Amino acid sequence: MPDNESILGGKTYLVTGVTSGIGKVTARRLAATGGTVIAVARDSARGQSAVADIRGHAPQGRVELHVADMSQLDSVRKLAEQIQGRYERLDVLVNNAGVSKQAREVTADGLEMTFATNHLGPFLLTNLLLDQLRGSAPARIVTVSSSVHKQVKEIPWDDLQGAQSFNGLKAYNLSKLMNILFTRELGRRLADQGVTANSLSPGFVHTGLGREVTGGFAVFLKLSRPLQKSPEAGAATSVYLATSPDVAEVTGGYFQKSASAKTSALAQDDEAAARLWQLSAKLSGLA
């Protein structure tokens, strides 16, 4: 019987947000299986540096850089076209890229930056690549969320993008709740189609995500540094969901520490998940 690594060797993985932290480690570990890793970065120079690092740690893999800004819908569409045109198959999509903004920023599409990068971009990319994933079945979709989704007590449907009232931490927490709701609805829609969808919390990880934070929360991050996990530890659940035979048929789930975990009650709201999908489809031009 072939071992799990040799079975994984011929697979193609797409990982967004590979320039640092969890994304880089995830891409490195997937490349170590001997597969092809499509490494997506927003900045070309940082992306090239990351790819060189990944190749250095995992020379047995094939790693190719694609530059795309997940906050820009046209950029996401171009990325999907490139993937469809260049690769015959796509076995695993890892939606990892994310931002946390202290102040409200608006993209060229008129979207709030955190919402666009953390939710709408991955939503659009996933939908555009669904046919390719189905054609590569069994395939997997892995989306990095966070336990901070539990801080959201109510979804502000009339102000999802903080146009009326913006708070950076609340916007980030809400985007992580959206990741889970999206995954829940995606799992339902993909039932019996050979593609699974799961989300995860990497834990409290030391990454560059909070580099723009100021004030009291910045002090908290500094003081809590000894308690923060390394990116290597934080990437473990992403890699588990992308590769483990134990979750080959699990879909619509939420994981932490490579095990099924409990979400907030709000994250289990099927009506909210369906409503978010419809709104997202309209905003991204899919509907």
**Residue numbers annotated as active site:** 172
Q: Find the radius of gyration of the CA atoms of the chain.
A: 18
**110 CB-contact burial (10 Å; exposed 0-12 / middle 13-18 / buried 19+):** exposed
Which amino acid makes up residue 149? H
Query: With the C-alpha atoms ordered 107, 201, 260, 231, is the resulting torsion angle positive or negative?
Result: positive
The number of helices, as runs of H, and strands, as runs of E, in the chain is 12, 8
The two tokens of residue 282 are 């309209």
The two tokens of residue 142 are 């892995």
Strands 92-95 and 195-201: unpaired
Rounded to the nearest angstrom, the gap between the alpha carbon of residue 188 and the centroid of all alpha carbons in its chain is 18
Query: Among residues 249, 251, 67, 45, which one has the least CA distance to residue 142?
Result: 251
What is the DSSP code (8-state) at residue 230?
P
Q: How many residues does the chain have?
A: 287
Measuring CA to CA, how many Å separate 24 from each of 44, 45, 57, 67, 231? 15, 14, 11, 15, 9
Which amino acid makes up residue 164? Q
Cα 263 from Cα 274, distance rounded (Å): 17
